[in-house]
Amino acid sequence: MGRRAELDAKQARVADLLTEVGADGLLVLDPANIAWIAGAPLCDDVPDPADWPALYLTPTGRWLVSASIDTQRLFDQYLDGLGFQLKEWPWDWGRERLLTDLQANRRIASDRVLPDCVPLGPTLRRVRCALTAAEQARLRALGAAVAHAVEATCRNLEPGQTEEEVAGQLAHRLVHHAIRPVALTAAADGRAARHPRPGVTGAVVRSSCLVAATATRAGLHVTAARTVTFGPPTDASRSDFDAACRIVAAVAAAGVPGTAARAVLAAGEKVAHLGGHDDAWRASPPGHVTGWLPVERPLPPGTPLVLEAGWAVTWRAGIGAAVVADTYHVAAPPEAVTPIEAGLWPVKRVKVQGLTVDVPDVLERSPR
């Protein structure tokens, strides 16, 4: 399916929603919804949220609502040939004046809570979480590129480099493939045990490094984490990493369409408990639904969500300094969209209820 056909299909869904709520048109202001409809991150590279472009859709028409200084770039880069008309404001007007004119004498729905508008934000979030076949293909391509960038960074980093240097190399690899970093991690020598969300500091890498990225392209997001050691890991860190692998394999295997998220979390919690890691299980989130936002929906204990086919979910486990995280399609069997590069990265194969789940192992490199 080409991009214009994708847009037409999404507009048809919007038309059905407008009929249900009795509205004439839909004003789309949320950058994630804009990216979902357009298949492109139109708000990127516009530094002031007050200048972000918007979309306006009726059952039969679609418009880009844009500042004059951005219009040509947005059409050249993303929207040519996709059937968009234009509603443009001069840069010195500001967006609000045009939006006010757009709403005059119309019953408008919006994904933001606005006066006299029908709120459709939660509905659109539910709809966009189920990725189409074309979006899933783009997510696979993004996931493979992000996993490669993280693994290549691990294969090439050297003791004595700072976490900031490692993160810079990772960011370069991502941007080189038109991928935008959202959150980067470089945690040297077990720092993740102290900081469950480590980020990046000026610490020097001596014996090991956790490298991770959440990144986006064309509006979609994935997350991948890998660990490299110089010399064999200690017995304690080896044990922690194995436990983290078993937990991620358990939730990934359980996370099939139609399964209640709390049942998936219970599967992971059971594995953590059997390994004596109850405190670690409670210390950080085990996963979240991802897609058009880095975190579309969190998965806290007791969540009422039921996993649906086409969703993308990032599963994560942290035991001490050991962190395992990848993004998966909700499918039967589960499909990692941030896959291990065959022959270039070690694999730990975990058997869960007759299913074998491949999880990235620790990369051991020779000490210098």
CATH at 63: 3.40.350.10
Which residues constitute the domain of residue 276?
Answer: 133-365
120 & 144 share domain:
no
Phi, psi of 298 (to 5 degrees): -70, 160
Place of tokens 């299909």: 9
| pLDDT band, residue 353 (cuts 50/70/90) | confident
Largest CA distance in the chain: 72
Query: Which pLDDT does position 226 carry in this prediction?
Result: 98
Place of tokens 């941007």: 175
Percent pLDDT > 70 in the chain is: 99
> For residue 311, is pLDDT > 70?
yes
124 & 141 share domain:
no
Higher pLDDT pick, 83 / 102 = 83
Phi, psi of 342 (to 5 degrees): -60, 130
Report how far residue 345's alpha carbon sits from residue 340's, in angstroms, rounded to the nearest whole number.
6
Query: Which pLDDT does position 1 carry in this prediction?
Result: 66
> For residue 72, is pLDDT > 90?
yes
H-helix segments, the chain = 3-21, 31-38, 71-74, 95-103, 121-129, 133-156, 163-176, 235-254, 261-274, 278-283
Average pLDDT over residues 240-262: 97
Last residue of a domain, one of 129, 149, 181: 129
> For residue 205, is pLDDT > 70?
yes
252 & 359 share domain:
yes
Last residue of a domain, one of 105, 129, 153: 129
| Number of independent structural domains in the chain | 2
147 & 12 share domain:
no
| pLDDT band, residue 236 (cuts 50/70/90) | very high
CA-closest candidate to residue 237, choices 94, 55, 361 = 361
Contact in structure between 216 and 202 (CB atoms under 8 Å): no
Average pLDDT over residues 1-8: 89
> For residue 308, is pLDDT > 70?
yes
| Helix, strand or coil, per DSSP, at residue 102 | helix
> For residue 199, is pLDDT > 90?
yes
Contact in structure between 118 and 25 (CB atoms under 8 Å): no
Alpha carbon 308 to its chain's center: 16
User: Is the bond leading into 304 cis (omega within 30 degrees of zero)?
Assistant: no
Last residue of a domain, one of 88, 109, 129: 129
| pLDDT band, residue 214 (cuts 50/70/90) | very high
182 & 203 share domain:
yes
Query: Which pLDDT does position 127 carry in this prediction?
Result: 96
287 & 195 share domain:
yes
CATH at 244: 3.90.230.10
What tens digit of pLDDT does each residue of 88-139 get? 999 888 888 888 888 888 999 999 998 889 999 999 999 999 999 999 999 9
78 & 183 share domain:
no
CA-closest candidate to residue 218, choices 175, 176, 178, 171 = 178
Query: Which pLDDT does position 49 carry in this prediction?
Result: 94
177 & 234 share domain:
yes
Average pLDDT over residues 284-302: 96
Q: Residue 80 contacts by C-beta under 8 Å, 6 or more apart in sequence?
A: none
Instruction: Give the up-direction half-sphere exposure of residue 109: CA atoms within 13 A in the CB hemisphere.
Output: 23
What tens digit of pLDDT does each residue of 24-53 get? 999 999 999 999 999 999 999 999 999 999
Burial class (CB in 10 A: 0-12, 13-18, 19+), 340: buried
> For residue 219, is pLDDT > 70?
yes
147 & 80 share domain:
no
Query: Which pLDDT does position 343 carry in this prediction?
Result: 92
112 & 188 share domain:
no
Chain mean pLDDT for the chain: 96
